[in-house]
Structure 1
Amino acid sequence: MLDESCTNTSCFCYDSRLHYPLFTTDGHGAFMLLSSLSLGLLCVILMAILLDLVVGDPKRLPHPVQLIGAFIIRLDARWNRGDHRTQRINGFLLTASVVMSTFAITYAA
């Protein structure tokens, strides 16, 4: 799919699916790829904002980030004790617990 061609002034790397240079030695192709990705990303972000404004979060349920924050506060109150070394180990365990439990809850279904 990738085709490299060089002239005296610059080298191009083409992807036949995109129909324009992925990058050139002078940087113009990279700018073209970035600008097309940026436009698509901008559209996705705007659609997400509109969807969030229309649908929003249900008022009767807490946001998942609030639940994660409450979990961190509880563990921090119990584990943030002792000397510096113990606090560092407990901080690592707290981080691992939050990440693993969030992963497990997210992908359990």
Structure 2
Amino acid sequence: MNHWISIILVLVGGEALSVLLFWILSKIFTGKDGAGISKRSVFKGMVERLFLFFALTHDLPHVLTLLGALKIATRIKDENKISNDYFLVGNLLSISLAIAYFIIWREVLK
């Protein structure tokens, strides 16, 4: 299968699943359907996973450290523990999804 077609297939399928997973996560942490999920946050998550997936498919695993540092620097807040827990779990889930995309691509589609 063409390298780029396999990457696109993994991303499209994974992002469809991620929307559902983040909706469930939001419901668990806030008790409301889709609360805290905006189009902006969905787009940012997609860009983040796209960045990680492309980096991993091109043998650049060090970007995980870079992304972690950037995310910590932009999320440091002490005012709301639920918000911090929500962002921590959301960030871990997002990075895990990007790694899963890479594994699926490498093991199944490559």
Q: TM-score, normalised by structure 2?
A: 0.36
Q: Which has the higher strand share?
A: 1
Q: Structure 1 or 2: larger helix share?
A: 2
TM-score, length of structure 1 as denominator length:
0.36
User: Greater RCO between the two (CA within 8 Å, min separation 6)?
Assistant: 2
Quick check: which has more Rg, 1 or 2? 1
